[in-house]
Amino acid sequence: MPSTLLDATNLRILDELQKDARLTNVELATRVHLSPSPCLARVRALEQSGLISRYVMLLDPLQIGLSVSVFIQIRLERQVERALEQFQEAICEYPEVMECYLMTGDSDYLIRVLVPDVQALERFIVDNLSKIPGVANIRSSFALKQVKYKTALPLPNLKKPSSKTKRAIAQQKT
């Protein structure tokens, strides 16, 4: 990926869009001190490069009745490629699964599940998770309180560009 995609202006664009993806191009251009046309061209380039992969809306889970967040550690009987693929294909089918990670350590996978209540969690584990072929062990931990949650990725410091960023800006101006 060209380093010019991460110049100071594009970093400001990304920062603003991570805060509010519903900004109009005119609002975004004003915030990043560009005129609308070059701003739109930069956003399109970021999209085409894959750096911006999608735009989403975030809902408040409590407002829609999803009040139980659970982290579940899963150990498989065997850690061979086919067993891993089979588990991953199966777990992706469940809308309750918000995140799934292949892990090192005692567990093979860590998933985060969001459900309305403990009974729904029980149904998910008994009816779905335990029936995935190769699952050997399931350990759940309830999240009591969400202390921090963010979707915005940490971007390089916007106030002090690195020497690499400065070089990229200088190259872009020439």
Give me the phi and psi of 94, to 5 degrees please.
-100, 115
Q: Which CATH number describes the domain made up of 61-142?
A: 3.30.70.920
How much is the pTM?
0.82
Matching fold, domains 1-58 and 61-142: no
Does domain 1-58 bear CATH number 3.90.1200.10? no
Q: What is the pLDDT of residue 167?
A: 64
The answer to whether 151 touches 142, Cβ cutoff 8 Å, is no
> b/e string for 33-47 if b means 16 or more Cβ within 10 A?
ebeeeebeebbeebe
Q: How far apart are CA 131 and CA 84, in angstroms?
A: 15
CA dihedral 100, 80, 125, 142 (to 10 degrees): -50
pLDDT band at 122, cuts 50/70/90?
Answer: very high
* Ranges of each domain in the chain: 1-58, 61-142
Region 111-134 average pLDDT: 98
pLDDT confidence tier of residue 1, bands split at 50, 70 and 90? very low
Query: What pLDDT shows up at residue 156?
Result: 84
pLDDT at 170: 58
What digits encode the pLDDT tens for the residues 24-81? Answer: 999 999 999 999 999 999 999 999 999 999 999 999 999 999 999 999 999 999 999 9
**Other C-beta atoms lying within 10 Å of the C-beta of residue 27:** 14
Cα–Cα distance for residue pair 174/171, rounded to 1 Å = 5
Instruction: Answer whether residue 169 shows pLDDT above 90.
Output: no
State the distance between the two ends of the chain, measured CA to CA, in whole angstroms: 20
Confidence band (pLDDT; 50, 70, 90) for 124?
Answer: very high
Kindly compute the dihedral angle of the four CA atoms of residues 122, 127, 132, 133, in this order, to the nearest 10 degrees.
120
How far is the C-alpha of 9 from the C-alpha of 45, rounded, in Å?
Answer: 13
Tens of pLDDT, residue by residue over 129-160, are 999 999 999 999 999 999 999 999 999 876 55
Residue 2 has pLDDT above 70, yes or no: no
Confidence of residue 5 (pLDDT cuts 50, 70, 90): confident
